[in-house]
Amino acid sequence: MSARTPRRILAIWLARLAIDRWRLAAGEGADSAPLALITETAHGPRIAAANAAGLEAGACPGMMLADARALCPALAVAPSDPAGDLAFLESVALWAQRWGPWSAIDPPDGLIVDVTGAAHLFGGEARLLADARALLARRGLTARLAIAPTAGAAWALTHHGPESAIFHPDDSLDQLPVAALRLDPDILLLLRRLGLRQIGDLSGIARDALARRFRTARAPAANPLVRLDQLLGRVPEPLLPVVAHDMPLVQRRLMEPIRHRALLDRVLGDLAEDMARVLEGLGLGTRRLELGLWKVDGEVLLRRLEMAAASRDSAHIAGLFARKLDDLDAGFGIEQVRLRSPWTEPMPLLQSDLEAAAEMHGTSLAACIDRLTVRLGTEAVRRPVPHASHIPERAQRWQAPLQPEATSQGELAFHARPLKLLDRAEPIAVLYASPDGLPRRFRWRGQVHEVARAEGPERIAPEWWRERSSVRLRDYYRIEDDAGRRYWIYRAGLAGDGRGGMPEWFLQGLCG
């Protein structure tokens, strides 16, 4: 967007969100008596919000319930529901897109709508605000509104400005208190102790002095300078928009409850085909599927499935679920089957495979991985990826086979590494050692090995930033015994390093 048309942001502060939600559920009559919503804390119930009668009776948010009961014994309580409040806020954020194409939530109780270039549709910004106020009041929500060029300024005006403020770029926010900068409480306390009460006081101070004072504060909520820049639009403030998603869902209600597996497989095949058609229409492929089976006796059975790559192959989906239905107890019968896909990924339409011989050419990699993980579990099918560590067993990690490999530093080929690494290094008993400390003869798994040739030591020190100080260093040797077997052994520690007794020897890897 060019500099000539500054953005216009509508901020909505649902100041009494929790109480409004409770009132919408409980009814107007219950609101006349003092009430508080409480959260359970380690020190007992604490008030999260109170209605108007409750506030008048002396119950403030943040107070212990016992203290509030001492002031007002008639105070009624109900549990607060922060997760429900957040879900409600998300739905209101979608609803608020009637005033602008883009909205975001500002937890716990704020909304941001971008109304740039949209106000004239309502007859100007003042009328847009009036419309929003009327609609929010009709929904029974207490709200304060403001329009400003930045999200920070709009937030400041809703919380600390006049009712329904419209802010123009040449207006001044200097009269607002510093709390309008969205700072943490301890920073606000610090500013108050410094005698800075209004935003205007901050602009009176030299910028580099502020930068030096708060140079260690990285988070915007702890740095007044960053917040001031965001307020004035000097630095961008990214916000995550709320986007509506609908979950692809197909279901079948059955006339007769089914009790037999063959019929269920048939229904499942039909559902998988329906789902494939729905997904094809949306240009999506599914990554996760949930199958719900409603039984006549009122129970619901759920089966979940996750795919290695996006797919909408109905035969593949039905085949994967078939394995998960082996332990199913149909009871008196299943009357409804529903298949939904909570996780989808874009998957372009492809021309169907015209070559009939492709059927004979085997499965694709993703289908093969799916079949393996359904039977063996996700932990059993993995691939090794390098990890930044010089301790051998930490230098590789395991991840899902089709997940992309993270970029990492190239491996230096100075030292040979064994082909296989034992999960736990096995101790070996040294029967005879040469003067330099390398074993000449050792016993491992009941067999005596005579060391014919050796290369080493390769000293690998412990990672002191990760481990305790008593971990010993390791001296690795690559050895070959008299029969030609090649092993990778190490000595843990040195004699007299003060981290335990005599050094011990371990066999960690088998070379080719």
| Residues of this chain that bind other proteins (CB under 8 A) | 361-365, 367-369, 371-372, 375-376, 379-386, 392, 395-396, 398, 401, 405, 411, 416-423, 445, 447, 452-455, 478-480, 482-486, 509-512
CB of 202 to other proteins, least distance (A): 54
CB of 422 to other proteins, least distance (A): 4
CB of 337 to other proteins, least distance (A): 28
With beta carbons less than 8 A apart as the criterion, state whether 39 and 151 touch: no
Cis upstream peptide for 108 (omega within 30°) = yes
CB-nearer residue toward other proteins: 455 or 467: 455
CB of 4 to other proteins, least distance (A): 51
CB of 436 to other proteins, least distance (A): 12
CB-nearer residue toward other proteins: 135 or 385: 385
Gap between the Cα atoms of 406 and 404, Å rounded: 6
CB-nearer residue toward other proteins: 62 or 512: 512
CB-nearer residue toward other proteins: 300 or 406: 406
| SS3 letters across 442-472 | EEECCEEEEEEEEEEEEEECCCCCCCCCCCC
CB-nearer residue toward other proteins: 180 or 451: 451
CB-nearer residue toward other proteins: 336 or 396: 396
CB-nearer residue toward other proteins: 185 or 404: 404
Q: Which helix (H) or strand (E) holds 486?
A: strand 486-492
Gap between the Cα atoms of 406 and 53, Å rounded: 57
Tokens in use for 209? 């002095």
Gap between the Cα atoms of 170 and 173, Å rounded: 10
With beta carbons less than 8 A apart as the criterion, state whether 133 and 14 touch: no
Helix (H, G, I), strand (E, B) or coil at 287: strand
Burial class, 280, CB count within 10 angstroms (exposed 0-12 / middle 13-18 / buried 19+): middle
CB-nearer residue toward other proteins: 416 or 431: 416
With beta carbons less than 8 A apart as the criterion, state whether 296 and 335 touch: yes
With beta carbons less than 8 A apart as the criterion, state whether 460 and 473 touch: yes
Amino acid at site 474: R
CB of 451 to other proteins, least distance (A): 10
CA atoms lying within 13 Å on the CB side of residue 194: 15
Phi-psi region of 501 (alpha: psi -120 to 50; beta: other; left: phi over 0): beta
Write down the residue that tokens 């003092």 correspond to: 34
With beta carbons less than 8 A apart as the criterion, state whether 154 and 11 touch: yes
CB-nearer residue toward other proteins: 142 or 396: 396
Pairing label, strands 76-79, 102-106: unpaired
CB of 483 to other proteins, least distance (A): 7
CB-nearer residue toward other proteins: 130 or 385: 385
Pairing label, strands 165-166, 144-148: parallel
CB of 467 to other proteins, least distance (A): 21
CB-nearer residue toward other proteins: 276 or 425: 425
CB of 416 to other proteins, least distance (A): 8
Write down the residue that tokens 């005698």 correspond to: 195
361 CB-near residues (< 8 Å, 6+ apart): none
CB of 405 to other proteins, least distance (A): 7
CB of 315 to other proteins, least distance (A): 15
Residues recorded for the chain: 512
- Please spell the DSSP secondary structure of 118-183, one letter per residue: TGGGGTSHHHHHHHHHHHHHHTT---EEEEESSHHHHHHHHHHS-TTEE--TTS--TTSBGGGG--
CB-nearer residue toward other proteins: 85 or 481: 481
With beta carbons less than 8 A apart as the criterion, state whether 144 and 138 touch: no
CB of 472 to other proteins, least distance (A): 22
Tokens in use for 358? 């492709």
